Structure formats: structure tokens, C-alpha cells
Chains A and B, each alone.
Chain A
């Protein structure tokens, strides 16, 4: 659209036609206060805070509903405007309790800020305030009615943003109240967006309320450790007896790929970190019992046993995690090959990335970022239920349809909630997702399996033609599509102009675990173990034969051939329902936060830090790389990175060969550059931005990140952008050849909105929500 020129406070601005005045002012650095206006939600015009003077208009106008026009002359701040805003604040304060000293929002409250700005501390209203006790609407949402200023933000974000429509406004005038959908409680997805978006302390979080004040916390923007979407969550931490306690998760830092969005897990489910069952001391099995030990003893024992077994050609298996950082996954992959001298490496696979890497080889720009899902003109989603398993992806799709009119084509064996946004929903018999891929790719015979009463051959043909005619189509597929079907789907996509792919995996760093080569047949970057090349040159002496998959390791244990098993952040015994006695002849080392089924039968258990307690990087399911920042801390735990290095050291391995640190003989720590005189050490900033800062310790993940950037194709991202907290897209185009593996090795996690593997088992917040639901259902059933 053409630009229009307008004048605000004597300043000439240009903005595209159709821009709201409040937005035009914001982009020019002129702040117009508002409570009810919120970008990307429908306009309300309820709070009257954004009143401005516009020449030739008789009364003050609301900047949030006025569209800029050519030659408009606006005054955003004069006596009349200030008086009007002051009156608005005075009205709002008419029934506001002024309990700021105990209110959760005190210190970060928009009404408080406005009262300071416009000075409406004195009031002419003498009426008694209308009090109403606080109500609990769900285990995690509380409502304090008198604090509410009726801006309707919560109502709109719940309805328009989340498509849940659980909040409404009842009654009229001064008696108006926000009401939940089930009279006295909420039945919703418990995302807590209403709490985040509330400008005052009317909606408060069950996890955080009355615990501390905003200024007493340190706020750390890091990446959520639950599903594979990679939302940025801001963790509020404060000092506690055992380190740093996480007391709040919210969306204060909106710079992430999730913008405003955060689901229940990112917001409340950080509490597993402080669960009383958390391991805080290494355990060694002595006389059949796990006994507390110290770190030196544990590392010495592991080092000794691992070295013995390796030197006597005993079989060792390594199981990695989908929740450790890229650096840790890479290090573990390298440790297995170089130190343990085995290719027996695996992890819980939830998506077929090796097949995708194989199919996309040589196709640049063929994977979509999470941000692109929000902008794409058309989306094809085959399988999965993002609302439950990928809440951010669902948000991106939903709001893309709402705000940008994207066309969503849905193919699923179930009727899923995103169907409400779909331009077309095609239901297929369960398990025929591969046939859909084949048909779309041009195999007309495949249609027989997907014809149903509702969808005839003609319907399918019409759909295929429509999809072929789309441009910049983002093709998203769940784990239903795996093995050869991935290549078939990619073949279809190649025929659509500008098509890009997203492969859905379930855990926070499932993609990273795959990219970093936690496979028996693949090294980092999907480089096959049998192929020589840079890994063989740098790592030297990689075993040439393909190693064992996890089920094969289990079989080896059954046959008493597996002498040692090293499990980093995984619970294969619990997940696969294995007999723990299977491993009674195996030396088992487990790095875990809790005494899981696998840790319970281990010979040595090392207490691990989780993703909120360390730095590093995660790659989300789309391939967006993001930086983790250490927020919480629990005394007595170590990061998996440190433990791997310490074990290598205890085995007598030269850790310089594992982690490239301390390369030079001397290093300039900045003493010569005037950093102590108080100015920014620009040279150090420059070095860090290029990954050239001195790595002084083998426990420094960025040292491995240097190696990852050098050796893993697709990871040549900008270090300074990463450090700045921006997401960096990695690609699969130049990866190694990948592989077609056994499809049955992929087992989706099937987590829903309120479960999250081992982390979910130890999250009270998630449990409280699930319990409240079962109670309600049983009440209904009893009638």
C-alpha cells in the first residue's frame, strides 16, 4: 500500500496506508498509552487512554482505532489530552483496590505506570469500593475481580489467539465482570496467556502468586525444555538454600520465535527442577544398594571400569537424550566414537530426520523456520495434532490463518482442533499417511487406500491440483511420515514452487540430537560412519562398522554381551517397559535428575543439571538454533557436558583432543586493552562475536560449538546473532547423505498439553491440572 504522511507533535512521519495511528506513533518513538489496545488482537476502544488531539476533528480521538490519513496533524500530548487521560485513570482507580504493596503486578503494572505518569493519585470519588474475594479458576489461574480494569485483553487473546473462547464479559456498566466459561472455573488449555497479557494484577498465576516481587528476581530469557518448538521463556530466578530457584516463567522477553505465545509447560512446568526427589549427590551401588558417594569416587570408578571394558573389547552402549544441548549431544557422540571406541550410540527417536536429510540433500532453502509458519501463504499439515503436541506451531498456524489469511490444508486420521482454521480438512483412514504422500507425488494407484465415503477420487484429485498450484507452501508432517515416505513427500514438494518442509519431533532438542549424530550409523551432520572425510581426519580412529541401535543393545544385554551401558538423560527401561534385571551383568552409568526406572538399576548415578541450569544451544524441530542461558541452579548437580569430559579425563584420555580449548600458549585476558578503565572491551566483544574468544576450560561448551560450526554442515550460522538471542536457521541441504533406517525405531512421545515425559512426571503444576480434570470428569460421571 502507498505511504501516507502525517504530523505528530510537529514531527513528520510516514506510514503505510491502513496503519493505526497508535502503531505509526510507536514506530516513530512516540508512546501513546493504552490498556485495551494490543497488537494483532481485534480493536476494542474500551479504555480511552490513547486519546489524542487530531486537527479538524471535534473531539479527542482514540489513536488505537484511528487509521492514519494523508496530512493528518496530531497532538499526542497537551494539557487537554493529559487531562482526559488523567480522568480515565481516576475512573479506573475508582474501584481499584490499591493493594499494590501485596499485588503480584506491583512494579510491573501498567495501571501503576499510568498513575505515575498522569498523577491521578487524588480522587473525587467517595463511593465505597466494591470488594469481591479472589477466585481460583483453575489450578494455575486466579482472578482478583476488583483489580480488573476491563480492558478485554484476556478475553480476546483466549478467543482470537488461542481459539479457546473460555473467557467472556458478563453484566453491564459498573457491574461488568470477566467470567470463566464454567461459571466458577475455567475449562481451557491452561496456557496462561490471559495472565501474561493482563495489564494489572487481576489475573494471577498459581505458580507464582505472592511468592516474590518482580524486582527481586533476575530475569533470564532462555529456551523452554519441553516440546520441540523452542519457545523463549523468561525465567525469574532468585537465590535459595540450594542455589538459584526458578520462581516464575513468563513471556517478558518477547524477542523469541514465539512472540506473545507460551503454553502451560513453558510457563508453569519449570517446577520439576525443585522437586524434592531431585538427585543432588552421586550414587554408587555398594553391596547391591545405591549409596551416596562423592564425585571423585564416582568418576574414578566409571573411568576405571569403562577403560577396562574398552581395552578388553567388551561391548559398550551409549544412550543419549533429546533434551541435552547440541554441544552435549555432539560431545557424547564424539566421546563414544573416540574415547569408548564404539558406534553403539542411539537416542529416543521421535522423527525421521536422517531420511529428511537424505531427501533434502542438495536442496537449499527447503526447510521452513518457525517464523515462516506464521507468514506462509499456504500450509499443508499431514498427521500430528499440533494443538496438543506442538502448541507454538498450532499458534503460528492459527494466527497465520486469522491475520494473514493463509490457506491451511489438513490431512489427518483424526478430527483435530486446527480443523476450525482449515480451508480444507481431509480425513483419512489411520496409517495411510504414506499413501497420501505417494498420491500427492503422482502415484495415482495410491489413491485406492485413501478413498473414503467422504473423499472420492475426484476430491483427492482436486486437492492435489490445488496444492500443486500453491506457492511457498509449507509442508509440515508428523512422525506418521517416515522412512521412504519422507523422500516421496519431498518429491511432491519439489514440484510446488518455493515449498519448504517442517518435520515434527517431540522433544526440546530432538532435532539437535539427530543433527549431532546420536545414531549408530551416522556421525554429526548425517555423515555415515563408513564414509571417510573430515570427521575421520579430525576425530581420528572412528570405528568403521555401524553400531547397535537401542533395541539391539537390549538384545545384547539379554545375551550377556553388553558389558557397559552409558545413559545420558534418558529412561529406556521405563519407556520401553524393559525388565531391569536384563542389565544385571552390565555396568550401567546413568546421568539423570531423578531416580527413574533406569537410574534405579544403575551401578553409578550422576546427578545432572537440566536445560534451565546450563548454557548451550538447542535446535528446534524446524531447525532454528537458539541459545540457552543458565537460569536456575541446584547445588550438587553438574551439566552433562562436564560429566562427559570428567569421565574421559578419568579414563586417562587427553581432553584437549575431545574439547578444543586453550589452543594458544598465552592468551590476552584483556589486561592490555583498558577494560578495567570502565569502557566496554570492544576487542573482546569482537572476538566473542566471531567465536574467537579464548576458551580457557575443557568444560566450556562454546569450545565444542566452534568445532560444531566447523564440522557440521548447516551450522555455519552467525555467532553474534546467536549471542544476541536471535534464532538462527540451520539447513540440511549440505548434510551428509543421511540414511534410511528402520521406521519402527521411531516412537512418538505422544505427550499432550499437560504431559512432558520424565519432566512432566516431576512437575507439580502439570499434575495439578491433570488431577483437577479427572476430578471434574468423575463428578460428571457420578451423576
Chain B
């Protein structure tokens, strides 16, 4: 298992930040996922080995966090918030629209591997509800029309 130099630099730095080895686990998983796209068996083995944890330990942590995944995702992960603020401002309509437009449901990926759709809990953008998050980018104060434009922007 080989990670990029950037990952390795970050990993070495992080390891020094914490008093115990396993504290690096969550950020390491996140960076590894950003790089590989998901947390493959290989990634899990490698991180478990480096942090002297069992694979089971690593899997337990991954299963706890919804942002971590052991299955490949599309290139763009569309996360639609349907918690209270977004819901009141039309979040559920946005989610329904996404389903229709992309032809997929919650945690599913389009045939071409471009989009994965996810209905998520609060993403902390209540002041600009309704909001969605695509990978690490936020799109706020959305309407169905604005959403179409946003999604079209990711077609490439």
C-alpha cells in the first residue's frame, strides 16, 4: 500500500501532535479517503498496522462516522441536508429533485460513476438553508432551479 508524499508528510506531522498513537486514526482515515476515494481493505490494513490497532478497531471507527465509507463513491458526493432548518426551507424538495434528476436514491451512485447521492444530517449551514454539500464545497440558499445549475456545473 502506497500513499502520496503529501499524505505521508501529513501523517508524520499528525503522529507528533497526539500523546497516543491511535488518536491519529480519524484524520488519517479522512485523508486516506480523500486520496483513494474510499477506505479499501488495503487502506484499513495499512492504517491498522501503522497505528498498532486491529483491523476490527479501525472498522469500528469507520462504521461510527457516516463521512467515512468502505465502498467506492462517485466522483462528486452530493450531500443534501434535510434537518430542521433546511427542511423548513425546502431541503426535502431538493433531495427529491436530486433523486429524480440523477435517477438514484440515498447512498447510490450513478451508472457513469459521476455522482453519489446522500441524505445527510445538519451540515452547519442553517443560516443559509437550504444547503447542500458536494465533496467539500457548499451551495447555499438553493431552489430547485439553482440546484439544477449547481449539478450541471459538475457534469464534467
Contacts and interface: CB of A to CB of B under 8 A. Distances in A.
Interface in B55-105: 55-57, 59-60, 63-64
The DSSP consensus for interface residues of chain A is strand
A181 B55 contact: yes
A172 B59 CA distance: 12
B122 to A, nearest CB: 15
Interface in B20-75: 54-57, 59-60, 63-64
Contacts of A180: 56
A171 B63 contact: yes
Given A169-B60, A171-B64, A179-B56, 17 more contacts: A165-B54, A165-B56, A166-B56, A168-B56, A168-B57, A168-B59, A168-B60, A170-B59, A170-B60, A170-B63, A170-B64, A172-B63, A172-B64, A179-B59, A181-B54, A181-B55, A181-B56
Nearest to B60: A168
Interface in A154-170: 165-170
A680 B48 CA distance: 63
Contacts of A179: 56, 59-60
* Secondary structure type dominating chain B contacts: helix
A181 B59 CA distance: 9
Contacts of A166: 56
Contacts of B60: 168-170, 179
Contacts of B63: 170-172
Contacts of B55: 181
A169 B64 CA distance: 9
A181 B57 CA distance: 9
A181 B55 CA distance: 8
Interface in A134-174: 165-172
Nearest to A181: B56
Contacts of B54: 165, 168, 181
A419 B55 CA distance: 21
Contacts, number: 26
A169 B55 CA distance: 12
Contacts of B56: 165-168, 179-181
List the 8 closest pairs (A to B, CB-CB), nearest first. A170-B63, A168-B60, A181-B56, A168-B56, A171-B63, A172-B64, A165-B54, A170-B60
B140 to A, nearest CB: 27
Interface of A: 165-172, 179-181
10 contacts: A165-B56, A166-B56, A167-B56, A168-B56, A168-B60, A170-B59, A170-B60, A170-B64, A172-B63, A179-B60
Nearest to A183: B59
Interface of B: 54-57, 59-60, 63-64
A602 B65 CA distance: 67
A180 B55 CA distance: 11
Nearest to B65: A172
A669 B56 CA distance: 63
Nearest to B55: A181
Contacts of B57: 165, 168
A175 B56 CA distance: 17
A180 B60 CA distance: 10
B69 to A, nearest CB: 13
B65 to A, nearest CB: 8
A158 B56 CA distance: 13
B143 to A, nearest CB: 33
A172 B65 CA distance: 8
Contacts of B59: 168, 170, 179
Nearest to A170: B63
A350 B60 CA distance: 44
Contacts of A168: 54, 56-57, 59-60
Nearest to A155: B60
B117 to A, nearest CB: 20
B78 to A, nearest CB: 22
A137 to B, nearest CB: 13
A584 to B, nearest CB: 57
A171 B70 CA distance: 13
B30 to A, nearest CB: 17
Contacts of A171: 63-64
B42 to A, nearest CB: 16
B104 to A, nearest CB: 22
A748 to B, nearest CB: 31
Which residue, of A166, A167, A168, A171, has the highest number of chain B Cβ atoms within 10 A? Answer: A168
A169 B63 CA distance: 9
A74 B123 CA distance: 43
A179 B55 CA distance: 12
A170 B58 CA distance: 10
A179 B57 CA distance: 10
Nearest to B59: A170
Nearest to B66: A172
A262 B55 CA distance: 26
Most buried by A among B55, B59, B60: B60
Most buried by A among B54, B55, B63: B63
A42 B60 CA distance: 18
A293 B57 CA distance: 61
A726 B60 CA distance: 42
B56 to A, nearest CB: 4
A170 B56 CA distance: 9
A135 to B, nearest CB: 16
A172 B61 CA distance: 10
Nearest to B58: A168
Nearest to B62: A170
A170 B63 CA distance: 6
A567 to B, nearest CB: 47
Nearest to B64: A172
Nearest to A177: B63
User: Which of B56, B60, B63: most chain A CB closer than 10 A?
Assistant: B56
A172 B63 CA distance: 8
A406 B54 CA distance: 25
Contacts of A165: 54, 56-57
Nearest to B53: A165
A189 to B, nearest CB: 14
B63 to A, nearest CB: 4
Contacts of B64: 170-172
A715 B62 CA distance: 58
A180 B56 CA distance: 8
A156 to B, nearest CB: 13
Nearest to B57: A168
Between A166, A170, A172, A179, the greatest number of chain B beta carbons within 10 A of the residue's beta carbon is seen for: A170
A302 B55 CA distance: 62
A252 B59 CA distance: 34
B121 to A, nearest CB: 11
B21 to A, nearest CB: 15
A656 to B, nearest CB: 63
Contacts of A169: 60
A545 B59 CA distance: 68
Contacts of A181: 54-56
A330 B56 CA distance: 51
Nearest to A173: B64
A221 to B, nearest CB: 35
A678 to B, nearest CB: 58
A168 B54 CA distance: 10
A61 to B, nearest CB: 26
A740 B4 CA distance: 65
Nearest to A172: B64
Contacts of A167: 56
Contacts of A170: 59-60, 63-64
A168 B56 CA distance: 7
A399 B54 CA distance: 20
A272 to B, nearest CB: 33
A167 B55 CA distance: 11
A167 B54 CA distance: 10
A536 to B, nearest CB: 62
A672 B41 CA distance: 79
A179 B63 CA distance: 11
A172 B57 CA distance: 14
A573 B63 CA distance: 55
Nearest to A171: B63
